[in-house]
Chain A
Amino acid sequence: MQFSTFAEFIAMDGHGFYVWLSYGVSIALLTLLVFFSIKTNKNIIRQIQRRQQREEKLKQAAQQHQDSISQEVTHESTS
Chain B
Amino acid sequence: MWKWLHPYANPEVSYHFTGKLIPWFSKLTFTLLFIGLIWALLFVPADYQQGNSFRIFYLHVPAAILSMSIYVGMAIAALSSLVWQIKLADASAAAMAPVGAIFTAIALITGAAWGKPTWGTWWIWDARLTSELILLFLYLGVIALHNAFEDKTLAGKAAGILALVGVVNIPIIKYSVEWWNTLHQGSTVSKLGAPSMSSSMYWPFVVCFIGFICFVTWVICIRFRSEILARNAMRPWVRDLVNQQETK
Contact = CB atoms under 8 A, between A and B. Distances in A.
Interface of A: 1-3, 9, 12-16, 18-19, 21-23, 25-26, 29-30, 33-34, 37-38, 40-41, 44-45, 47-49, 51-52
Interface string B56-95: 1001100100000000000000000000000000000000
B56 A18 contact: yes
B48 to A, nearest CB: 13
Given A1-B42, A52-B239, A23 B37 contact: yes
Interface residues of B, number: 42
B52 A41 contact: no
Interface string B112-127: 0110110000000000
Interface stretch (B129-137, B168-176, B177-185, B220-228): B220-228
A18 B53 contact: yes
B220 to A, nearest CB: 9
Contact of B43 (A1, A25, A40): A1
A1 B116 CA distance: 26
B98 interface: yes
B56 A19 contact: yes
A45 B106 contact: no
A21 B113 contact: yes
B109 A25 contact: yes
Contacts of A49: 242-243, 245-246
Question: Binding site of B, secondary structure by majority: helix, strand, loop or mixed?
Answer: helix
Nearest to B107: A26
Interface of B: 37, 41-46, 51-53, 55-56, 59-60, 63, 98-99, 102, 105-106, 109-110, 113-114, 116-117, 215, 218-219, 222-223, 225-226, 229-230, 233, 238-239, 242-243, 245-246
10 contacts: A2-B42, A15-B53, A16-B52, A19-B52, A22-B113, A34-B222, A37-B98, A40-B223, A41-B229, A49-B243
A64 to B, nearest CB: 23
Nearest to A47: B233
Contacts of A34: 218-219, 222
Contact of A26 (B53, B59, B218): B59
Given A18-B56, A26-B110, A33-B102, A41 B225 contact: yes
Residue of A22, A41, A52 most packed against chain B (CB within 10 A): A22
A45 B245 contact: yes
A22 B110 contact: yes
A23 B42 CA distance: 13
Contacts of A45: 229, 242, 245
B59 A13 contact: no
A1 B56 CA distance: 17
B102 A25 contact: no
Nearest to B105: A29
Residue of B52, B105, B222 most packed against chain A (CB within 10 A): B52
